[in-house]
Amino acid sequence: MLEVILDTETTGLSTADNHRIVEIGCIELKNQIATNNIFHEYINPQRPVSEDAFKIHGYSEKFLSDKKTFPEIAEKFLNFIKDKKIIIHNARFDLSFLNYELKLAHLKKIDKENVIDTLEIARQKYPGSQNSLDALCKRLNVDNSKRDKHNALIDCELLKEIYINLVDQKEPKLDLNNTELLDGKNDSVSILTNNNLRQIIKPSSQELTNHKKYLKSCLPKNFYS
């Protein structure tokens, strides 16, 4: 299953005030494992950046002035998210801006039914608690030391870890239907799983003997009686 972790940065808090998107970041997941496929664009909003927004992400009008506009990156963005579940933290905010931009560009809006909101998942799992991205990083031991200011791609990296924890998939699943034995040596076996080479080290006969002796020493003396 393909999913997309998505985050945006904007010129302000509301499309009602004609605020626009200045950055989109996306990370693709396959079976909840990140692929090498990402989407990242800074966007010229063609309007001023509010002072409050600048304090959050640090993208000035000068920095954004030579970037592409949303209509110029829209097709590439839509192709990236096509036929994938979209994972967003506080989806209501990002989705309102994305659909506002798509409306201005005369393009089809994103269906909210295709979106998973990690904020809603967190609220159900931790009711009454702070569930911001930073709060969840702290609770789930996700390193957010790189998050000096908000950045869509960095926030996607953090959200990826949070999402995997929230759905209790803390370790990648092995797809045994797509697993191939590559090597059968005396001390190891290599397998190819989803194009990733993994090596399983088999214990030696001496290590097995030592392990049995250790286990026996840990058992009560009358265990076998």
Tell me which residues are annotated as active site: 150
C-alpha torsion angle, residues 92, 98, 103, 107 (rounded to 10):
-120
DSSP 84-146: SEEEETTHHHHHHHHHHHHHHTT-PPPPGGGEEEHHHHHHHHSTTS--SHHHHHHHTT---TT
Helix, coil or strand: residue 10: strand
Contact (CB, 8 A) for 9 and 43:
no
Token code pair at residue 204 = 């030696």
Residue 15 DSSP label? G
CA 131 to chain CA centroid, nearest Å: 16
